[in-house]
Amino acid sequence: MPSNNQPPGKSKVDKLVAEARRQRDLRESGYRERALKLFPWICGRCAREFTGANVRMLTVHHKDGNHDNNAPDGSNWELLCLYCHENEHARLLDQAAQEGGGAGPQAPATHKPFAALESLLKRKDGE
């Protein structure tokens, strides 16, 4: 039994990932709670209204993309529903790709999954 009170088989990487997630959750819970107190529970894009029953679907978007920029007045935040938040990040990635940065063009695929298909079919017909 490990002396550090960790379950057997838990690697250092698992511990680091768990700690990083814990820190992220702590950070997010702080600014999320503040944002939910500052702003009305309405998506800033689609104007969908939220209640206590579905507020879990309302997220905090950092306007400048820096999750550590959490001004007390909420000036870097906007509340977005899950769908609009995902759309916003996809839009930013698309824009970066068009401008030549970020996720630009990828190398063409080299794998040819049907390269040997003709010989396989001939072999099967000749059985």
Average pLDDT for runs of 10 along the chain of length 127: 55 90 76 91 95 94 90 92 93 84 57 78 70
Cβ–Cβ < 8 Å for 55, 43: no
* Cα-based distances in Å from 46 to 24, 31, 43, 69, 107: 27, 22, 6, 24, 36
Looking at residue 90, its pLDDT comes to 92
Q: How big is the chain, counted in residues? A: 127
State both tokens at 124.
């099967």
* Cα-based distances in Å from 118 to 84, 103, 126, 127: 47, 36, 12, 15
Looking at residue 85, its pLDDT comes to 93
Tell me if the pTM is above 0.75.
no
Q: Where are the domains of the chain?
A: 12-105
